[in-house]
Structure 1
Amino acid sequence: MDLHFNTYYTLISAVIVLLLGKWLVGHLRWLRNFNIPEPVAGGLVAAALCYLLYAVLGYRLSFDGELQTAFMLVFFSSIGLSANFSKLKEGGRALLIFLVVIAVFIGVQNAVGGSLATLLGLDPLVGLIAGSMTLLGGHGTAGAWGSVLEREHGVQGAMTLGMACATFGLVIGGLVGGPLAKWLIRRHQLQGPPAAPGSADSLVDAAAYNFESPRKTRLITTDATIETLALFAGCLAFAQLMTGVTAGMAFQLPTFVWALAGGVLIRNTLDYVFRFQVFDRAIDVFGNAALSLYLAIALLSLKLWELADLAGPLVVILAAQTVAMLVYVAGVTFRAMGRDYDAAVLCAGNCGFGMGATPTAVANMQAITNQYGPSHKAFLIVPMVGAFFIDLLNAVFLQTLIKLLG
């Protein structure tokens, strides 16, 4: 029996999940020790309860997908609206190095998936599904490419398979990022930057980096709220317009990438053309709220029985992908980014979008920086690379590999 939660009940459920996650992290020391993000802690408990309802009573719960998509688009819009060109310049050489590291990782992920699929007697295209298509690309990329593989390449069940792999990646990305970063910090005796005097009680000013201090107090006014809502509306309208314009073209980008790009265009046009001062604190509040609610709904919507039904060979591939990611992040990403505290936080983010999604990456980094201190470099680099450049690179890789293997 299917039970569908409409928009209102989905929102209520998401808030309950976040409150549950906050309570769990606050009362269970091992969750804090492993730096598990609050939405992940509460969401996995809720997903497990949904699975029990399915296994015992046969009830399949579904939640409003449009609300989840809306919060995701707001989150990516907030990244774009926070990225003026002066901040992007600050990334400099480190951003380029991280981009190269991730580009190589895309190749590693597809090599692991494709080679194991071939060895296990599966279609090599299944290896791509269990590679960067779903693990680094997430549910949106899995759905888009899954339909292409079913329609044009005859890979039966590619959509369902892709969603299951993306679900696995979302869970693993949120579980391993924090512990790996903490292990690196302890192993190399790294320390975050010292807190500024009185910073615990001070307000975050307009120059604060987005998402870096989600628990800091931010004063926003009614006028600032209305202006910020107008900015988000512009980003969402731009994303919808560009998705429609590029539909059917050979090279397409997911809607959330257009939302981020719209935010960058709007923010920098206001900054450098109209000299309008964007209210960063309001963007921070909306972005962090959207991030938490998106993750809560995404984890509520996990169909764990799809993971339970995965064939043995696919489980082998996904397990190998997890090990490959951990080895690569600890051995390559950490070293390439400087072997310092910022590099360790970047590794938490790498795990987040390397197996899950950019919101998971940000949540992973927040869990680390809440305990060890801020990392301006990580919060500057990861959102832009994970949300924008990654999808461009991944699309190029996938189009090329599908033509070769198909």
Structure 2
Amino acid sequence: MLTVELNMYHGVALGAFLFWLGGMITDKVSLLNRYCIPAPLVGGLCFSILNCILYSAGIASISFDATLQTVFMIMFFTTVGFTVSIPTLLKGGKAVILCLLVSIVMIPLQNFLGGGVMQLFGQDPLLGIGCGSIALIGGPGTAAAFGPDLEAAGAVGGSVVSIAAATFGLVAGSLIGGPTARRLIEKYDLRPAAAVAGSAPGAGLAAEAAGEDESFLTDSPRFIKGFMLLLLAVGVGSQVSVWLKALTGLTFPAYIGAMLVAVVVRNAMDSMQVEYPAEEIDTMGNMFLSIFLAMALAGLKLWELIDLALPMIVCLLLQCVIMFLFTYFVVFNVMGRNYDAAVMTAGFVGFGMGATSNAMANMQVVTRKYGPSPVAYFAIPMVGGMFIDFFNAVFIAANIGWWA
């Protein structure tokens, strides 16, 4: 068998090509657009499938140095830390805090369900975490980040299982979210608290969605400032991670220290009224996530999934059932049993099974039909895109420590 080993520079070039390829495919295939499947995920999976075919046929095996993949991963999660504004959380009040609390409850539910199913099938329960909050609450980024940690703890195939489960979650979150909200709205005859004068249902969604497709103008000094802040957080954060491990005895992901430092830096800048380059750091975060995901997916060894196919299918189907029941009977009631609560169930399923982009797409579909929900559009991105990652990382590290 021919063995092809690419160095870290070749690996980055491959990731960039796969990102472009994935973007071209998602533009052409409407189904991928409808379910908000990320372009780097599509491109990376195309390569990993090709590599699996070559390997299974005994033709060739392609691998690459993932050193820079880890760097991009840490940089991306550091940008997530910079989005956490504590004053904004406090101003959000009851809706954000309640949504965060029910999200935290969902993390151990997903992990213990996954671990239990894997044990029933005689598999390593650590793989259940890969089918739990690593892939579902966490999404593809967290799956790619924690997969190597599962394997280091002894779970063979942890990266492949986590990424595969995250891919399933992206589709399932889009399929379940809208129908769940629609059922609640029609069953209880729910309507928006106040209609927006002079606008059709769903008008103003672009603003509510926090400028998801919004363009901006900037200059190089702002980008330089943002990049230097990222480097500062990454450098100091590496030592913070060492201290956290020594203090708690738990093995946290490499990015956790940098995320915490980024939170401190961001809120210190806000308190001192120092200009914070939000759009620039967000743009860099999207760049780092795209290349990191493309490389992570390209490195998957899909042939390791053969023996895990049945327990994974059972586990993920049960995760869908639990997510529906939890949102329908718990999230809806805790959030107030009103129209906003119903819309938030669609968003909760979106980021609880896939990613924040799924959550926004789910809520957009619902609000276009039934009317706007500013509360949902504020609370869901705040929780799903910012705060929940911290709690998820702590729970995952604790679960790995317990089951390893």
TM-score of the two chains, using structure 1 as the length reference: 0.77
The residue number in structure 2 matching 1:167 is 163
Q: CA deviation at 1:228?
A: 0.9
Q: CA deviation at 1:288?
A: 1.7
Q: How does 1:125-164 map to 2 (within 5 A)?
A: 131-132=132-133, 138-144=143-149, 146-148=151-153, 158-164=154-160
Q: How does 1:161-240 map to 2 (within 5 A)?
A: 161-184=157-180, 188=185, 193-195=202-204, 212-240=210-238
Give the whole-Å Cα distance in 1 for the aligned partners of 2:67 and 2:332.
37
Give the whole-Å Cα distance in 1 for the aligned partners of 2:31 and 2:264.
43
Q: How does 1:276-287 map to 2 (within 5 A)?
A: 276-287=274-285
SS in structure 2 opposite 1:83? Answer: coil
The residue number in structure 2 matching 1:355 is none
Q: Pick from 214, 238, 241 the counterpart of residue 239 of structure 2.
A: 241
The residue number in structure 2 matching 1:54 is 55
The residue number in structure 2 matching 1:292 is 290
Q: Conserved in 2, the CA contact under 8 Å of 1:78 and 1:283?
A: yes
Q: 1:77 to 1:182 in 2, by over 3 A?
A: same
Q: CA RMSD in A?
A: 3.5
SS in structure 2 opposite 1:255? Answer: coil
Structure 2 unmatched ranges of 5 or more: 193-200
Q: Which amino acid aligns with 1:386?
A: I
SS in structure 1 opposite 2:62? Answer: strand
The residue number in structure 1 matching 2:395 is 393
TM-score of the two chains, using structure 2 as the length reference: 0.78
SS in structure 1 opposite 2:341? Answer: coil
Q: Conserved in 1, the CA contact under 8 Å of 2:133 and 2:396?
A: yes
Task: Report the count of equivalent residues.
Answer: 373
Give the whole-Å Cα distance in 2 for the aligned partners of 1:366 and 1:297.
26
Q: Conserved in 2, the CA contact under 8 Å of 1:37 and 1:174?
A: no
Q: CA deviation at 1:232?
A: 0.5
Q: 1:27 to 1:334 in 2, by over 3 A?
A: farther
Give the whole-Å Cα distance in 2 for the aligned partners of 1:90 and 1:130.
34
SS in structure 1 opposite 2:379? Answer: helix
Q: 1:86 to 1:65 in 2, by over 3 A?
A: same
The residue number in structure 2 matching 1:350 is 352
Give the whole-Å Cα distance in 2 for the aligned partners of 1:39 and 1:257.
23
Q: CA deviation at 1:140?
A: 4.1
Q: CA deviation at 1:223?
A: 0.9
Give the whole-Å Cα distance in 2 for the aligned partners of 1:370 and 1:11.
35
- Is 1:7 the counterpart of 2:3 in the alignment? no
Q: 1:370 to 1:3 in 2, by over 3 A?
A: farther
Give the whole-Å Cα distance in 2 for the aligned partners of 1:144 and 1:13.
24
Q: CA deviation at 1:69?
A: 1.9
Q: Which amino acid aligns with 1:378?
A: I
The residue number in structure 1 matching 2:33 is 32
- Is 1:379 the counterpart of 2:377 in the alignment? no
Q: 1:376 to 1:23 in 2, by over 3 A?
A: farther
- Is 1:254 the counterpart of 2:246 in the alignment? no
Q: CA deviation at 1:256?
A: 1.6
Structure 1 unmatched ranges of 5 or more: 149-157, 201-207, 353-360
Instruction: Encode CA deviations 1:335-355: one digit per residue, 9 max, x unaligned.
Output: 644534344233211112xxx
Instruction: Encode CA deviations 1:68-106: one digit per residue, 9 max, x unaligned.
Output: 222222222112222232222234323332333233323
Instruction: Encode CA deviations 1:326-367: one digit per residue, 9 max, x unaligned.
Output: 554565446644534344233211112xxxxxxxx2443465
Q: 1:280 to 1:385 in 2, by over 3 A?
A: closer
Q: 1:22 to 1:257 in 2, by over 3 A?
A: same
* Identity across matched positions, percent: 27
Q: CA deviation at 1:314?
A: 5.5
Q: Which amino acid aligns with 1:12?
A: A
Using the TM superposition, name which of 213-222 and 315-324 deviates more: 315-324
Q: Which amino acid aligns with 1:255?
A: A
